[in-house]
Amino acid sequence: MQFGFWTGVRTSELFALRWSDVDWRHGSVRVQRARVRGEIKTTKTAAGVRDVKLLPPALEALQAQRTHTELLGGEIFHDTRTNAPWLGDQALRLGPWRRALRAAGVRYRYPYQMRHTYASMMLSAGENPAWIARQMGHADWGMIRRTYARWMPDVEPNAGEKASSWWAKNTAQNLSKPVTKK
């Protein structure tokens, strides 16, 4: 789950990630397919095919997962009860997801909310919305702006002060000039 919270990938994309998609040298993962109701499909959109930068917590999650599924060579994330790749989010929702939420004292929400948590975390930290959109597989940052605008902080605490100073200076200069009549 840590990987989902720190990459913003859709749950269907998470279930379809393979070890061959991981680029350890560049610290990224290639998202290029989705698993929907047990079937491997293309990503939701053309922009969904992307390389996602792996932030340190996502890399840590992958490192921890290596001992469990890397030698199998297929999908990265498996259902711990069956040791088979997740077929969809229902088994996750009914098992480990629900238990994790309960243990954390968080009211129930769908696993897809990991994606929203990622977006709001990145925006709250002041990350570039266009970069976040690319990480999440959006064609542009319009969706980020419409959906998450309230999480965009004032990344420039002094925003507007240059214009105010310029205006005050020029207004003061203009007021101090003598008025000449023509």
pLDDT at 161: 79
pLDDT at 32: 97
pLDDT at 71: 92
Residues 72-86: tens digit of each pLDDT = 989 999 988 888 998
Which range has the worst mean pLDDT, 30-34, 133-137, 166-170?
Answer: 166-170
Q: How does residue 1 score in pLDDT terms, banded at 50, 70 and 90?
A: confident
Residues 99-155: tens digit of each pLDDT = 999 999 999 999 999 999 999 999 988 899 999 999 999 999 998 988 888 777 665
pLDDT at 168: 83
Mean pLDDT of the residues in the chain: 89
Domains of the chain: 2-166 (1.10.443.10)
Residues 169-179: what's their mean pLDDT? 70
Q: Are 72 and 38 in contact (CB under 8 A)?
A: no
Residues 35-59: what's their mean pLDDT? 93
Residues 56-76: tens digit of each pLDDT = 999 999 999 999 999 998 999
**Cα–Cα distance measured from residue 53 to residue 132, given in angstroms and rounded to the nearest whole number:** 10
pLDDT at 164: 79
**Cα–Cα distance measured from residue 72 to residue 143, given in angstroms and rounded to the nearest whole number:** 37
Buried b (16+ CB within 10 A) or exposed e, 66-88: eeebeeeeebbbbeeeeeebbbe
Which are the catalytic amino acids?
10, 44, 115, 138, 148
pLDDT at 159: 66
Q: Which residues, at least 6 apart from 32, have a Cβ–Cβ distance to it below 8 Å? A: 21, 43, 49
Question: Does 62 or 170 have the greater pLDDT score?
Answer: 62
